[in-house]
Chain A
Amino acid sequence: MILICGIPSEPPIELLTNELDIIGANYLLWNQREFNKTNISLFLTAAGRVSGTLQYCDKDYSLENITAIYCRLTDWTTLPEIENDDTNMKLRERCEHIHVLMQLFIDNCQGTVVNRSEDMMSNSSKPYQMFLAKEAGIKIPDTCITTSEEIALDFYEEKQQRVIYKSISGTRSIVQKLKEQDLPNLGKLFFCPTQFQEFAEGQNLRVHVINEATISTAIHSDATDYRYAAKEGGESATLSHTELQAHNKLKCVRFSKDLGLFFSGLDFKQNEAGEITCFEANPMPGYSYYEQSASQPIAYTLACELQKIDEIIT
């Protein structure tokens, strides 16, 4: 059985469960907001196997029958049931315990997990991911991270003043061009290192890797950060399907595997020669934006892959 964890109305989960319904897959959708209708018992046997039971909405499910998991859990502290009732400590504790145990099972389940928390952690450091992309044979932009005003200025000049800056961690930040008027602020770098990158020419590209499959989306936008194109005063980005060259597809699959990810969203820029430069790997891609804007079968492909695993094991 396939286990889907998260909030049913969240677009990536909704799209996936719709596809699972269409292909007739055997799945259970665990709505994390119904933690009060949930009980988990989890065991490690002397034979080194993880077993136990998930009791959900008055039904029992053996954890050993779960062959694949798609996990897109929202931070439990932000669930309305908890946020709107912060005085109910018992409810809070219950919610926390259920989520801790569910995560413990997900991370140690013998089946396929999309994706384990340990493997998603690479996203906490963009330079760390850059090294892994490089090891997978993917081009990366020249990147300088520093606490030194002098080194940042040197990099700015070396790159003919075509430099962008953004956060180093997984916390989403708006990518911005470093401008002449920003330079007096570089003295503040002493308190927090900042990531500077040469501005890469080309078209933005999102590649979703689902096991061995790749689905690529071209993003048409003049903005520095297409996600905020309208905010920058320009036209909203438009998305369309595109095909990667075969060798680039293989590199994407290798990179995703090296990260330990069954499903990932890789961000690139592609130049006119078709060369791709990697910026980031998203381990929990909010793929619905790309699927709906470019009419791409991302959820369908993921659903089929999960069903294939379930059928092979059971």
Chain B
Amino acid sequence: MFFLFCSKADIEATWLYDQATANHDIDAEILFVEDLYDCRNWHLRVSDDISFAEVILPGGRKINTGNVTLFLNRINSIHHPFWEKKELIERQYFQQEWNAFLLGWLKAFEAVLVNKLSPTSFSGFSGTSLRWSLMAHKAGFVVKPQSYLSDDRDMTCIFTPNISKRTKSLLIFNKKVYCNMELARFSDECLNLAAHCHCNLLEVFVEKRGNGQYKFITANSLPAFSKYSQSFIRAFRFSLIEAQKPLPGKKYKNELVETF
């Protein structure tokens, strides 16, 4: 089963879900974080010989480590509605507890998660502009010099890079790059970067400078899917179908992790 966990506000994720399941030939489920409140039995069991995670959806369907074959997670934190009206300290504590649980719960699904789990970002690697640029440089990209001074009034650029109208993007999925012809020459750099940050799914942003040279701007593991070609959708659908095929001697890929 393909399982997508996202927010109702995440139009890009729901668009991908609709496209991927349009032919009704894929076993799939979607869970919106806003519906979390109605889910029963969030459960994680881990010991020396058990790794099992499960949630029962509002309709009664069970999502667990035994039946999910591909898991796309787009949620990085949980704001449970029950705690939203409580005092700040209490709210923060319970939010930390939910997030800690989610991180452990997702770890149980590691074998089928699209992107490698990171404690800093549950949907895949995330970093400051400086961190991304250092990784991009190692991957072979030309990077923009950056400067930060303690007298700067505005520090937002550390975390949010400036994406302008001149910025163009490339999508990496399953070691293939989806982009327009002009950007295709950055395929190797993109694949290197995706490998460095352990992301199977990654969006990379580059910008053409005055001299015609492209420079790396940033990357993220929450791509806007709808702007990419149908060839990406075909590849994504193919990966879902492949994931649903039983492995020799095993019913599901995730059975590589012992369950009880």
B-binding residues in A (CB < 8 A): 38-48, 50, 94, 96-98, 100-101, 104, 107-108, 118, 121-122, 124-128, 130-131, 134, 139-148, 150-151, 167-171, 190-193
Known contacts A40-B149, A46-B143, A50-B134: A100-B155 contact under CB 8 Å: yes
Known contacts A100-B158, A146-B44: A44-B151 contact under CB 8 Å: no
Known contacts A41-B147, A43-B146, A191-B83: A146-B41 contact under CB 8 Å: yes
Are B143 and A38 in contact, with the CB atoms below 8 A? no
DSSP class of A's interface residues: helix, strand, loop or mixed? mixed
A144 CB contacts on chain B under 8 angstroms? 43-45
B43 CB contacts on chain A under 8 angstroms? 144-148, 151
Interface positions, chain B 38-55, Cβ under 8 Å from A, are 40-48, 50-51
Are A108 and B147 in contact, with the CB atoms below 8 A? no
- Docked Cα-Cα span, A142 to B41, in Å, equals 18
Map CB proximity to A onto B128-163 as digits: 1 under 8 Å, 0 otherwise. 101101100110001101111111100100100000
Are A44 and B146 in contact, with the CB atoms below 8 A? yes
The residue on B at minimum CB distance from A45 is B145
Are A143 and B45 in contact, with the CB atoms below 8 A? yes
Q: Which of A169, A171, A191 has the most CB of B within 10 A?
A: A169
A-binding residues in B (CB < 8 A): 40-48, 50-51, 80, 82-83, 93-94, 96-101, 103-105, 107-108, 110, 118-120, 127-128, 130-131, 133-134, 137-138, 142-143, 145-152, 155, 158
Are A44 and B130 in contact, with the CB atoms below 8 A? yes
B138 CB contacts on chain A under 8 angstroms? 48
Q: Which of A98, A146, A168 has the most CB of B within 10 A?
A: A168
Shortest distance in angstroms between A78's beta carbon and chain B's nearest beta carbon? Answer: 14
Q: Which of B40, B45, B147, B152 has the most CB of A within 10 A?
A: B45
Are A104 and B158 in contact, with the CB atoms below 8 A? yes
The residue on A at minimum CB distance from B138 is A48
- Docked Cα-Cα span, A47 to B82, in Å, equals 50
In the assembled complex, 13 residue pairs joining A and B whose CB atoms fall closer than 8 Å, in A order, are A42-B130, A42-B147, A44-B147, A46-B142, A101-B150, A104-B148, A118-B119, A118-B120, A121-B120, A124-B100, A142-B47, A143-B44, A171-B97
B46 CB contacts on chain A under 8 angstroms? 127, 130-131, 134, 140, 143
- Docked Cα-Cα span, A46 to B213, in Å, equals 13
Not counting A140-B48, A143-B47, A193-B44, a sample of 20 additional A-B residue pairs whose C-beta atoms are within 8 angstroms of each other reads A38-B150, A42-B149, A43-B145, A46-B142, A46-B145, A100-B155, A108-B128, A108-B130, A125-B99, A125-B103, A125-B104, A125-B119, A127-B46, A131-B104, A143-B44, A144-B43, A168-B100, A168-B104, A192-B98, A193-B97
